[in-house]
Amino acid sequence: MDNCVFCKIVRGEIPATVVHQDELTVAFMDIGSVNPGHMLVAAKPHVENIQGMDDRLAAAMFRTAARVARAAEQVLHPQGISIYQANGKAAGQTVFHAHIHVLPRWENDGMEFTWPVKNPPREALEKVAAQLRAAL
């Protein structure tokens, strides 16, 4: 992917502050860091989103996220760590190369996340769950 910014980082064509890498993933500081220690874990192969990851890549992504989260815990002593991963414009994705945000958190750090609970009836949950099971 010639014009993909994270592919360019993977190939070393543009600078990035890399924290860790392995065969399938690279973790680097987010240029727009919300808090100290805000990192992105990107897939080395160009996949647009989580739906495009095979089992091996999906496992490698979360392994790296957990690994750098432990380092953030040790170094920065945050009060919490958020894992954020967006797929698609409607979900808030702005760079269309799959990545996981590892975001150290502190009380009142300004991060906002609204979660508009709708409490659907059990039958609605059963219906969509049956469709999902059939799709697996």
Q: Hey, which residues are catalytic here? A: 99
Q: Residues of 18-36 as b/e, b for ≥16 C-beta within 10 angstroms? A: ebeeeebbbbbebeeebbe
When asked if residue 31 is in the footprint of ligand 5GP (CB under 6 A), the reply is yes
Q: Which stretch binds Zn ion (CB under 5 A): 32-40, 45-53, 86-94, 123-131?
A: 45-53
In the list 36, 80, 92, 120, the residue contacting ligand 5GP (rule: CB under 6 A) is: 92
Nearer to ligand 5GP, 29 or 71 (CB): 29
**CA 35 to each of CA 42, 58, 90, 127, 135: distance values in angstroms, whole numbers, following the listed order:** 19, 25, 24, 40, 38
Residues linked to residue 81 through DSSP beta bridges, in sequence order: 104
Distance of CA 51 to the CA centre of its chain: 13
d(C-alpha 85, C-alpha 116), whole Å: 18
Q: Closest distance between ligand 5GP and the C-beta of residue 108, in Å?
A: 20
Nearest residue (CB) to ligand 5GP, 76 versus 122: 76
Are β-strands 39-43 and 18-21 bridged in parallel, bridged antiparallel, or unpaired? unpaired
Q: Is 43 in the site for ligand 5GP (CB under 6 A)?
A: no
Residue nearest to ligand 5GP (CB): 32
Using CB under 5 A, which of the segments 32-40, 76-84, 92-100, 119-127 binds Zn ion?
92-100
CA atoms within 13 A on the CB side of 40: 24
> Which residues contribute to the site for ligand 5GP (CB under 6 A)?
5, 16, 28-32, 40, 86, 92-95
